[in-house]
Amino acid sequence: MPAQAPGSAAEPDGLEDRLQRFATIWSRAVFPVTATSLTRPEIERHLLPLARDLSDALHGRPFDPAPAHRVGAALVAAHCTDPDALSRSLGVVDSYLVLYCGGDGEPEELRARCARLQHALAAGFAQALRERTLVEQEAIARSALVARTFAEQALHATEARFRAVFEGAALGIGIADLDGNVLEVNGALTRMFGGLEHHVRGRKVSEWVHPEDAPHVWKLYGELVRGERDDFRVEKAFYRGDGTVLWTNLTVSLLRDADGVPQYQLALMEDTTERRLLNLRLRYEATHDALTGLPNRTLFFERLDKVLSSGDGTRFGLCYLDLDGFKAINDSLGHAAGDRLLVEVADRLQSVATRPGEMVARLGGDEFVALTTGTDTEQQADELAHRILGALATPVRLDGRELTVRGSVGIVEGPAGERGPAEVLRSADITMYRAKAAGGNRFERADPEADARAITRHGLTTALPAALDRGEFFIEYQPLVHLGDGSVHGAEALVRWCHPQHGVLGPDRFIPLAEHTGLIVPLGRWVLQEAVRQARFWNRSHADGGPLRINVNLSPTQLHHPNLVADTVDVLERSGLDPGALCLEVTESALIGADEDLLKPLRQLADMGVDIALDDFGTGYSNLANLRRLPVSVLKLDRSFTQSMQQHPIDPVDLKIVEGIVSLAHSLELAVTVEGVETGAQAEQLRELGCDTAQGWYYARPGAPDRIHSLVLADAV
Amino acid sequence: MERPAWAPPGIDISVPSVSRIYDYYLGGSHNFEVDREAARKAMEFVPGLPKVMQANRAFMRRAVRYAVDEGITQFLDIGSGIPTFGNVHEVAQSADPAARVLYVDHDPVAVAHSRAVLEGNENAGVVAADLRKPQDILDSPEAGRLLDPDRPVALLLVSVLHFVEDADEPHRAVAELRDALAPGSLLIISHAAYEGMPLPQERVGGAVGVYRDIRNPLVMRTRAEIARFFDGFALVDPGLVKMPEWRPENPVDQEDPYAFSGFAGVGRKA
């Protein structure tokens, strides 16, 4: 039975009070060596029941040390796990248990019991600590294992994802060691190589040398596997298992370990075979003529440019072929037949231009070129031209007909490095036209002089529009003199071109070109504006000397232009010039066979008071009767009449003709103007014949507007 | 090759872990020889490290009780480590069984152990995440389950900020967390410092070197630097003080001299 503790709990210095003091001492002893976050009084409250258990055990009948065992375990449970906590607890029990709780028991026995309780407490502490340690070790080990498993699962998921990327990638991916042994390849790469894995895996990278490898490919590879570079990107060809070629964009990267030591090489491949074929085809299509399969203009120019820009004494010979009368064949037999003819011609040309350095191309339409290069191209080009004409000599069978095909060839030959492709081709074109003009079915060699003429004409034509914009045109004025009194009656405006290279050009050099290109319309309008403005200026300055007239030439194209009347009215209104002071000169030839539609604008202008002069009269085969219905008020006799009057003695027939014309004109109420008067005798003669006005060097050459100014002043004096 | 962001870090128990070292200081056996070896090395320089940790645990316990007294029922403990005894959920739930606690640690072993300890506790959970990426914590499903963002939370950054180097912008991380907290939330911080250590700075520096060697650098900060973590919070009495001085329950003069190392404080978000 349990021992009856002496004294009552409530009593001071009773058992309860002594137990409390024992717990206080105990807590003070162990608190400094605990790791608990409890306060010391909390520890003390925790120790009080343990103290009571020890006290009860001290007096137990029969004696049982087991409670002390549990006290030891309870210390561990309270996180007093430090060995010092045990030794301090044993010290407190040894010194104070018997003293505070011994009561009146047998001291010998109490000491013995106390010692045995200490042994049990120590054993209980040790056992609990051992168990707790094992439990915690097991717990942390399990946690580490769980964490590792989790991490491995995550890693596995990662790897699975990588594997999915690797396998599912459209890019070919391969991994090899640094000796070039292929360790792993993905499906895409295997498929690129033809679908059989053993064609790729287990092979060595160095087996993949291909004749088309760029020289730097294997140099870059060497640098990579030696760790000198981290990646490179090249275009590379491979042989597939079946011997066909795989083209790839290849990126190779070096894989290093965590310490930066090179471990593997990773290859990423993009199959570019199809794209490459497509590019080749596109390139072929872009550089070849779809109809004949010959190289086209683009490719030819590339070649020509290459040849012409090479130095080292290279020469070239170029034959420019244009079929004679091809248009007629096209028109009569149809385009399909024309096309078949071109194909046949192309085939024949191809078959005769087979020597090294020779090339045939179709520039378009029925124009072909053959190019030869080498050192003796003078002879080669002639031979090539002979072969070309020879190839055409046999008639072409087309739809059961025998068609005779002829061609004209222009040859240009010379050293590279002097001229550009465009210049060479232009020369060849001009020369070909010479061959054609000479009757065709022949070749001509380029001639610098003939070229120069054509080139100037060509150059002027192309320079015309810009010349108008740049203000390169100007106007000279030639006085019109009254034959009766010799007074200045007006002036003819004559346009000039101040060309930056060729100097001042007369209208005969460029008006036909302007007429041809249509530029005559803006140019003519500009001349009209300028001349009218100038006339208005004169008339303001010399109002007392009577109005000066201004003569402006109209070209056939201008005559047909729908805005002729409107433009002229506009110009007159803007300047304020009296319409009666303007005379438009129209050539006789422009009015031959003119119908009423063409005459209508002229009639409108005449109705406004504008004079219309018939220029170069007497050069055409004019229907004199026609003169009546033309809205003309002036006849300008062609200079051929005045020229005939320079002869001595003057042919009386000529005189009669002029006299007749003047008389006819006057009877139709037309004034007569003569051009090209060079001598006083001529002037006198023409005056006697009844001509009204004259112009020519005898009076003044065409000149700047202020020349007229001074002539008029001289008149007035 | 660099590890992709979504792959978890590996487990290498041959490398010491600060949470297991902490457990060793507190007399626990949730540690391995590598951890104990590092802890013993550090204790060669600073023998009183266990007392620092004990004071830190005691501060945390008082601060959690304070938070419960202030009516807070949600706790977010970042850098919670290995739960041994006297953990936040034990302290909080003994005061209020409905209190919710979310532990966060970036040590996978600590997280696994926490998960085992918390098994069956509906009101507590753990997230493997890093203080340096607050959004990961805030966006985690566990946070969604346990924390009501409209109500105040006690955010515990106990003995963790001194493991975040300045380059990782710990102040920005704390500000980011602060911005996610409802008004009235509490920020509970304890932080290591040279100040208050009953040893010359060179000796303490030896222990700091041990942490540097195990690649978990210990960043000692000044009181002013630590006070900046409370930007946007009003410090509650007695302010940012030595750990035993924060609302003490024991007579301060009986505390171990090592307990006065570092600073602790609690702030309230306005």
**Could you read off the pLDDT of A201-259 as tens digits, one per residue?**
778 888 888 888 888 999 999 999 999 999 999 999 998 888 889 999 999 999 988 77
DSSP letter (8 states) at residue A675: -
Under the banding of pLDDT at 50, 70 and 90, the label for residue A621 is low
Four-point Cα dihedral A99, A102, A103, A105, nearest 10: -130
User: How far is residue A137's CA from residue A133's CA, in Å, rounded to a whole number?
Assistant: 6
Nearest CA to B123 out of B97, B150, B88, B149 is that of: B97
CA of B12: which chain A residue's CA is closest?
A: A148
Query: pLDDT tens across A165-208, in order?
Result: 888 888 999 999 999 999 989 889 988 888 777 767 778 888 88
How many other C-beta atoms lie within 10 A of the C-beta of residue A514? Answer: 26
**Quick one: which H or E segment has residue A567?**
helix A564-575
What pLDDT was estimated at residue B46? 93
**Share of chain A residues as helix, strand and coil, in percent rounded to the nearest 5:** 55, 20, 25
Does residue A579 fall inside a structural domain?
yes
CB < 8 Å to A148, chain B: 11, 13, 108
| Of A649, A648, A654, the residue nearest A686 (C-alpha) | A654
Supply the pLDDT for residue A622. Answer: 63
Residues A692 and A602 in one domain: yes
pLDDT at A71: 95
Q: Please tell me the distance from the alpha carbon of residue A361 to that of residue A391, in angstroms, as a whole number.
A: 15
- Residues from chain B that touch A137, judged by Cβ atoms under 8 A, are 29-30
* Interface contact flag, B30 A132, Cβ < 8 Å: no
Q: Using an 8 Å CB-CB cutoff, list residues of chain A that contact chain B.
A: 32, 34-41, 79, 81-82, 132-133, 136-137, 139-140, 142-144, 146-148, 150-151, 154-155, 158, 255
* DSSP conformation class of B236: P
Of A36, A151, A158, the CB nearest to B108: A151
d(CA A63, CA B158): 49
* Confidence grade of residue A1 (pLDDT, cut at 50, 70, 90): very low
DSSP 3-state of A432:
helix
Between chains, do B1 and A151 touch, taking CB under 8 Å as contact? no
* Inter-CA distances, B51 with A172, B26, B242, B255, Å: 61, 8, 13, 9
Helices A448-469, A507-517: inter-axial angle, 10-degree rounding: 70
In a domain, A381, yes or no: yes
- Mean pLDDT over A1-11 rounds to 47
Closest alpha carbon within chain B to A36? B54
Which of helix, strand or coil describes residue A239? strand
CB contact under 8 A, B32 and A140: yes
How far is A144 from chain B, CA to nearest CA, in Å?
A: 5
Domain shared by A296 and A255, yes or no? no
Give how far Cα A469 sits from Cα of A472, A519, A705, Å.
8, 11, 22
The Cα A695–Cα B206 span in angstroms is 120
Q: Which residues of chain B have a CB within 8 Å of the CB of A79?
A: 26-27, 85
Together in a domain, A221 and A343:
no
Q: How far is A81 from chain B (nearest CA, A)?
A: 6
Look at residue A457 in the predicted model and tell me its pLDDT. 75
**What average pLDDT does chain B have?**
91
Please report whether residue A419 resides in a domain.
yes
Domains of chain B are 48-197+219-269 (3.40.50.150)
Residues near B160 by beta carbon (within 8 Å), at least 6 away in sequence: B78, B79, B131
From chain B, the residues in CB contact with A131 under 8 A are: none
Q: How confident is the model at residue B267 (pLDDT cuts 50, 70, 90)?
A: very high
Q: With respect to residue A387, please indicate whether it lies within any of the assigned structural domains.
A: yes
CB-side neighbour CA atoms (13 Å) of A549? 23
Contact at CB, B60 and A37, closer than 8 angstroms: yes
Q: Spell out which residues of chain A touch residue B11, defining contact as CB-CB under 8 Å.
A: 144, 147-148, 151
Specify the pLDDT at position A644: 76
Mark whether A214 and A299 lie in a shared domain: no
Domain match, A216 and A303 both: no
**Domain end (from A258, A277, A296):** A277
Write out chain B residues lying below 8 Å of A255, CB-based.
Answer: 1
Which residues from chain A sit within 8 angstroms of residue B13, using beta carbons? 144, 148
Report, as an integer, the average pLDDT of B177-197.
95
- The residue-averaged pLDDT of A494-517 equals 85
| Apex A107 CA angle, A103 and A109, nearest 5 | 110
pLDDT at A579: 92
Q: What is the pLDDT of residues B147-186, one digit of tens each?
A: 999 999 999 999 999 999 999 999 999 999 999 999 999 9
In angstroms, the CA B61 to CA A109 distance is 45
For residues A103-131, one letter each, b for 16 or more C-beta atoms within 10 angstroms of the residue's C-beta and e for the rest, the string is bebeeeebeebbebbbebbbebbeebbee
Identify which of A275, A268, A247, A236 has the alpha carbon closest to the alpha carbon of residue A172: A268
Tell whether A578 is covered by a domain. yes
User: How does pLDDT run across A102-148, given as a tens digit for each residue?
Assistant: 888 888 999 999 999 999 999 999 999 999 999 999 999 998 888 88
Reported ipTM? 0.86
* Partner-chain contact B112 A147, CB within 8 Å: yes
Q: Which residue has the higher pLDDT, B126 or A505?
A: B126
Closest CA of chain A from B270, distance in Å: 30
A658's CB contacts (< 8 A; 6+ apart) are: A637, A641, A645, A686, A689, A691
The shortest CB-CB distance from A147 to any of B6, B57, B109 is to: B109
What 8-state DSSP symbol labels residue B229?
G
Q: Which of A37, A81, A144 sits opposite B109 (nearest CB)?
A: A144
Distances (CA, A) of B56 to A379, B38, B42, B189: 107, 20, 17, 10
Name the residue among A32, A41, A137 with its Cβ closest to that of B256. Answer: A32
What's the rounded Cα separation, in Å, for the pair A594 and A600? 10
Residue with tokens 């760029």: A214
Which of B22, B85, B88, B156 to mutate to test binding with chain A, by most A CBs within 10 Å of its CB? B85
Helices A83-92, A107-168: axis angle to 10 degrees equals 170
Please report, for the domain that includes residue A656, its CATH number: 3.20.20.450
- A147–B108 C-beta distance less than 8 A: yes
CB contact under 8 A, A79 and B27: yes
Contact B85 A158 (CB under 8 A): no
Residue A225's contacts (CB-CB under 8 Å, 6 or more residues apart) are A178, A180, A254, A262, A265
Mutate one of A140, A149, A153, A158 to test the B interface: name it (highest B CB count within 10 A): A140
Selection from A2-11, A559-568, A648-657, B167-176 with the highest mean pLDDT: B167-176
Own/partner pairs for A389-396, CB < 8 Å, 24+ apart?
Answer: A389/A441, A389/A442, A389/A443, A390/A352, A391/A348, A391/A349, A391/A351, A391/A352, A392/A345, A392/A348, A396/A341, A396/A344, A396/A345
Residue B216: the pLDDT is: 87
Do A465 and A510 lie in a common domain? yes
Q: Are residues A625 and A523 in the same domain?
A: yes
Rounded Cα–Cα distance for residues A521 and B199 (Å): 107
Q: Which residue, A229, A256, A277, sits at the end of a domain?
A: A277
Of B264, B195, B176, the C-alpha closest to B227 is B264
CATH number at residue A425: 3.30.70.270
Confidence of residue A154 (pLDDT cuts 50, 70, 90): confident
**What integer best gives the mean pLDDT of chain A?**
87
In a domain, residue A145? The reply is no
Q: Residue for token digits 């981290």?
A: A230
Query: Closest approach of chain A CAs to the CA of B50, in angstroms?
Result: 7
Neighbouring CB atoms inside 10 A of A598's CB total 14
Contact state of B20 with A140 under an 8 Å Cβ cutoff: yes
- What CATH number did the domain enclosing A19 receive? 1.10.490
Is A158–B32 a contact, with Cβ atoms under 8 angstroms apart? no
Contact between chains at B27 and A40 (C-beta distance less than 8 A): no
Assigned domain for A571 exists:
yes
Phi, psi of A327 (to 5 degrees): -60, -40
Count contacts between A and B (CB, < 8 Å): 93
Q: Provide residues of B within 8 Å CB-CB of chain A.
A: 1, 4, 6-11, 13, 20, 25-32, 50, 53-54, 57-58, 60-61, 82, 85-86, 108-113, 115-116, 249-250, 254, 256
Percent of chain A having pLDDT more than 70? Answer: 95
Q: Is the pLDDT of residue B10 over 60?
A: no
Q: Do A143 and B25 touch (CB under 8 A)?
A: no
Q: Do A146 and B256 touch (CB under 8 A)?
A: no
Residues A220 and A332 grouped into a single domain: no
Same domain for A479 and A437:
no
Rounded to the nearest angstrom, the minimum Cα separation between A257 and chain B is 7
The answer to whether A150 contacts B25, with C-beta atoms less than 8 Å apart, is: no
Confidence tier at A703 by pLDDT (50, 70, 90): confident
| Beta partners for residue A552, in sequence order | A584
Contact flag B109-A81 (C-beta cutoff 8 Å) = no
Q: Which residue has the tokens 């004034």?
A: A671
DSSP result, A316-376: EEEEEEEEETHHHHHHHH-HHHHHHHHHHHHHHHHHH--STT-EEEEEETTEEEEEEEES-
Torsion of CA A41, A46, A48, A53, to 10 degrees: -170
Q: How many domains does chain A have?
A: 4
Closest residue of chain B to A83, computed from CA coordinates:
B27
A703 and A660 part of one domain:
yes
CA atoms within 13 A on the CB side of B206: 15
The phi and psi torsions of A670 (rounded to 5 degrees) equal: -105, 140
Residues A121 and A218 in one domain: no
Q: Provide the shortest C-alpha distance from residue A278 to chain B (in Å).
A: 37
DSSP calls for A593-623:
T--HHHHHHHHHHHHHT-EEEEEEETSS---
* Domain final residue pick, A277, A308, A328: A277
Question: Within this chain, do residues A315 and A230 fall inside the same structural domain, yes or no?
Answer: no
Task: Work out the pLDDT band at B6, boundaries 50, 70, 90.
Answer: very low
Is residue A95 over pLDDT 60?
yes
Q: Is residue A8 part of a domain?
A: no
Residue B179 to chain A, least CA–CA distance (Å): 32
DSSP string computed for A56-98: HHHH-SS---HHHHHHHHHHHHTT--SHHHHHHHHHHIIIIIH
Tell me the residue range of the domain where A53 lies: 15-138
The encoded tokens of residue A602 equal 């002229």
- The span from the CA of A113 to the CA of A65, in Å, is 8
**Residue A505: what pLDDT?**
85
- The answer, yes or no, to whether residue B51 has pLDDT greater than 70, is yes
Can you give the CATH number for the domain in which A266 is found? 3.30.450.20
CA A532 to chain CA mean position, Å: 50
| Chain A residues with CB-CB distance to B111 below 8 A | 147
DSSP B241: B
**Contact flag B8-A151 (C-beta cutoff 8 Å):** yes
- Determine, for residues A151 and B11 on separate chains, whether the beta-carbon distance falls below 8 Å: yes
Among candidates A39, A136, A158 on the partner chain, residue whose Cβ is nearest the Cβ of B250? A39
